[in-house]
């Protein structure tokens, strides 16, 4: 299996609309490791559609605890468990991830206990280990090195960009962040930078449509980046490819790839991918 990145869910925020894209989750396959980054709603379906056997679930990373990044973490692991998961799953997330997982298992206690007794399954609570991380090195394991950088996503303080490195290949996820220049150093020379992005002309229509006008606009401007800003980070970092992801707005019929491209081309001249659910991004040899 060649190394690849699959964008499973490409929209920013938790809302779903008919025929539209789904919240944040990605699959990174590198050197035979199966790595899931963020578990927004739809992650399980996305992994299955990408050809992943849920029994082989291995490493999961959560950038922060906003629901569009973590809502389906428990259901993903539980579904893998009922599919026959028998090997440990390692979850890395910010402070509070363990709390989420313990409470999820409590909420599902009836089903968990009955499947252990009735179907002879191993105890899901013993199959999963949760590591809560902060800034710096997260894990180094079998040649895979993962590090984290705290980014600027108020009012959430524990939100981390992640850098994955293996055998000379590197992929960086910005997580959710306002324009944050230190990301350029963190992403320096990466093969792929997956950066969140908003499109200015789409924000006003989005704000009008969702009905929580001023507050929503204020939140978006304080804690997310415009496509031009993502391009600025990619240029300063000298990455090989920029992937615009966590798109806001993601499902406005009047906004297409050409609009995203026009915005980011003001600051980025290199290889560019605009995310869509299920899109596969390969590595340049």
Q: Which residues bind Zn ion (CB under 5 A)?
A: 66, 68, 176
Question: Interior CA angle at 152 toward 273 and 63, to 5°?
Answer: 65
Question: Smaller CB distance to Zn ion: residue 66 or 150?
Answer: 66
Smallest gap from Cβ 149 to Zn ion, in A, equals 15
Smallest gap from Cβ 141 to Zn ion, in A, equals 27
Q: Residue 157 — φ and ψ, nearest 5°?
A: -95, -35
The three-state secondary structure class of 189 is: coil
Question: Smaller CB distance to Zn ion: residue 69 or 232?
Answer: 69
Question: Smaller CB distance to Zn ion: residue 152 or 165?
Answer: 152
Smallest gap from Cβ 179 to Zn ion, in A, equals 15
DSSP states of 90-139: EEEESTTHHHHHHHHHHHTHHHHHHHHHHH-PPPHHHHEEEEE--SEEEE
Residues 240-251 as b or e (16 or more Cβ within 10 Å = b):
bbbbbbbbbbbb
> How many residues can be counted in the chain?
285
The three-state secondary structure class of 177 is: coil
Lay out the sheet containing 89-93: strands in order across: 128-132, 89-93, 59-61, 33-39, 25-30, 4-9, 279-282
54, 47 in Cβ contact below 8 A?
A: yes
Smallest gap from Cβ 67 to Zn ion, in A, equals 9
Question: Smaller CB distance to Zn ion: residue 68 or 228?
Answer: 68
Question: Smaller CB distance to Zn ion: residue 97 or 191?
Answer: 97
Smallest gap from Cβ 172 to Zn ion, in A, equals 17
Smallest gap from Cβ 153 to Zn ion, in A, equals 6
Question: Smaller CB distance to Zn ion: residue 145 or 219?
Answer: 219
Two tokens at 165?
């490195």
């Amino acid at each position: 299996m060649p190394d690849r990145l699959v964008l499973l869910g490409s929209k920013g925020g938790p809302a779903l609309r008919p025929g539209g894209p789904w919240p944040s989750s990605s699959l990174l396959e590198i050197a035979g490791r199966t790595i899931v980054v963020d578990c927004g709603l739809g992650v399980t379906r996305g992994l299955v559609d990408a050809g992943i056997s849920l029994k082989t679930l291995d490493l999961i990373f959560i950038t922060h605890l906003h629901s569009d990044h973590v809502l389906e973490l428990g259901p993903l692991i539980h579904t893998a468990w009922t599919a026959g998961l028998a090997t440990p799953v390692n979850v890395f997330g910010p402070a509070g991830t363990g709390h989420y997982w313990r409470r999820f298992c409590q909420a599902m206690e009836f089903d968990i206990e009955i499947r252990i007794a009735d179907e002879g399954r191993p105890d899901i609570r013993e199959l999963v280990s949760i590591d809560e991380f902060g800034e710096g090195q997260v894990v180094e394991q079998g040649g895979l090195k993962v590090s984290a950088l705290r980014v600027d996503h108020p009012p959430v303080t524990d939100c981390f960009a992640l850098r994955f490195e293996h055998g000379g290949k590197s992929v960086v996820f910005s997580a959710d962040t306002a324009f944050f220049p230190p990301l350029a150093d963190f992403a320096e020379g990466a093969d792929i930078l997956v950066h969140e992005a908003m499109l200015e002309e789409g924000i006003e229509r989005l704000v009008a449509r969702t009905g929580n006008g001023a507050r929503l606009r204020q939140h978006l401007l304080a804690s997310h980046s415009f496509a031009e800003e993502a391009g600025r980070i990619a240029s300063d970092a000298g990455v090989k490819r920029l992937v615009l992801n966590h798109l806001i707005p993601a499902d406005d019929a009047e906004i297409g790839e050409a609009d995203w491209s026009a915005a980011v081309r003001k600051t980025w001249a290199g290889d560019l991918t605009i995310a869509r659910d299920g899109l596969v991004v390969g590595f340049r040899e």
